[in-house]
Amino acid sequence: MVHAGATKLGRQDLLALSTPDGTATHRPVPHAGLVQGIIEALTYRHIEVVSEEYAATPDGMRLFGVLALSLASGDIRLAIAFRNSHDKSFALGLVAGFRVFCCDNLALSGEFVAVSKKHSKNLDVVETLALGIDRVQRRFQPMIQQVDVWKNHQLPDIRAKEIIFDAFVGDGLEAPKHLMKEVAREYFNPRYDEFRPRNLWSLQNAFTSSFKLLDPIPMYRATASLGTYFDTVQ
């Protein structure tokens, strides 16, 4: 999360961050209040936070957070990422998925967007978060079903090589071509046993593992384009 000057904080530290006065058209949402609202919305639905990370810019105007949730199935755990600003730089946003990305360089991505609301005078934070967490909960099972489809999609080695080649040489993926060898290594010689089966799910993880070698912005772009690319894979 911290690549452009933000500093990691504990949840208790958020209480010390000030909130500027609102205007006739802009209503800042206190960072601590937003996090508390998210936690309460999750708790009401019997969803626990397994781990949490927060970061704020030095002036306290922008907050970024990632929460891993107790919604899990096998080796898949759902996570949410969110951001909030007091300086009108971006809307209140919350995304969810088994791959989420949040950074102080303003990159925010996940499998789907649960909340995207401007800080207007009519913003009802409690209602907005309730609806957003409801979306997260509803989308979890379909996501698990999609992962199961990928896990059951067996790949002959020649087909896996074609997919990797087309991603980089065919410009199907927004990622530097030098990662092609790294993806192949991660797939054919995975470091984790759960990704040893030769299937579409293991191949996706080979891509995302290789993306960790990139700087934040290229990693964000590569990860964001990965889902679109795999939608075309048969």
Q: What is the pTM of this model?
A: 0.82
Q: What is the mean pLDDT of residues 217-229?
A: 86
Amino acid 50: pLDDT: 95
Integer Cα distance of 119 and 110 in angstroms: 21
**Are the CB atoms for 168 and 213 separated by under 8 Å?**
no
Given a cut of 90, is residue 196 above it in pLDDT?
A: yes
CA gap 186, 208 in Å, rounded: 10
Query: What is residue 79's predicted lDDT score, i.e. its pLDDT?
Result: 94
Each residue's pLDDT tens digit, 176-188? 999 999 999 999 9
What pLDDT was estimated at residue 35?
Answer: 96
pLDDT at position 2 over 80: no
Answer yes or no: is pLDDT of 171 > 80: no
Mean local confidence (pLDDT), 207-222: 88
pLDDT of residue 1: 58
Q: Which amino acid is at 97?
A: G
pLDDT digits (tens, 9 = 90+) for 36-85: 999 999 999 999 999 999 999 999 999 999 999 998 887 788 999 999 99
Residue 161 C-beta-side C-alpha neighbours within 13 Å: 3
- 100-123: per-residue pLDDT in tens? 888 877 778 888 899 999 999 888
- Which residue's entry shows tokens 């797939």? 187
Residue 18 DSSP one-character state: -
- Separation in Å, CA 129 to CA 15, 42, 109, 192, 200: 19, 9, 18, 36, 34
Q: Are 116 and 110 in contact (CB under 8 A)?
A: no
pLDDT of residue 218: 87
Write down the mean pLDDT value for the chain: 90
Q: Residue 98 has what DSSP assignment?
A: S
Closest CA to 99 of 145, 66, 70: 66
The whole-number pLDDT of residue 3 equals 61
**Alpha-carbon gap, residue 168 to 33, rounded angstroms:** 44
Residue with tokens 């790949």: 155
Burial class (CB within 10 angstroms; exposed 0-12, middle 13-18, buried 19+) of 51: exposed
Vertex 35: Cα angle to 67 and 30 (nearest 5)? 145
- The C-alpha atoms of residue 179 and residue 221 are separated, in whole angstroms, by 14
Q: Are strands 101-102 and 92-97 parallel, antiparallel or unpaired?
A: unpaired
Tokens 């810019």, residue? 57
Pairwise pLDDT comparison (166 vs 1), residue with the higher score:
166
Percent of the chain with pLDDT over 90: 63
Type of residue numbered 175: A
Give the pLDDT mean for 148-159: 94
- What's the whole-number mean pLDDT along residues 80-94? 93
